[in-house]
Structure 1
Amino acid sequence: MVLLNNEELTLLTSRARNGSFTVTFKRYDGRDKPTPREGKPPLPISEYRCLIRAQSKSKKLSTVVNQNEILKFMEAYGKVMKTSMDGLKKVKKPKTKSKVAHG
């Protein structure tokens, strides 16, 4: 896994100015191997983590964030999203017949 930090996420969003990129968040319990169906029950999980994956065309980044660091990461992620969404175009919606007749 490549460690995803604020600078790399900023670079990923700047590369995707003319295209798109995706970010996914998933609950992660820290296990790398699947649990067996039979046998001993798995050990209880004391703390869940968040698995975050970012992808743009050919570049893929991922990281695991602990519960106590998730707020700090989300604040940094929010700042990056606000600065990178300046090129969005407003979609024009067609007026319906009922609005045209009444308005």
Structure 2
Amino acid sequence: MRATTDAALTDGDGALGEAMLERAMRRVTAGDNDDEAGPLEHARVLADRANRLITVGEPGEAERLLHHAHQLFTTAESTFEAAVAMSRVADIAYQRGTTTKRQTCS
């Protein structure tokens, strides 16, 4: 489902992509574990939704979802995906202007 959602959004069909992403969010938040919807898939759907929210200008909700996704990625021992989630949180903070020199690489 995530691949089809990504294809719809990439192809420019925002309405279809949004609808599919919302459906995926409902599935993972309802605990529907019928196929691959375990904690790792839940985290990936949250991260996908957060990335979409960043694109449409809703960084506050995106940040909340990314923190949750980070926790799930960490629990699932997916260190790379956990790091990517936190890098997106850092991007949001940077855009807001709330980072300190210690939080940035430069």
TM-score of the aligned structures, taking structure 2 as reference length: 0.32
Q: Which has the higher contact order (CA 8 A, sep 6+)?
A: 1
Q: Which has the higher strand share?
A: 1
* Structure whose CA Rg is larger: 1
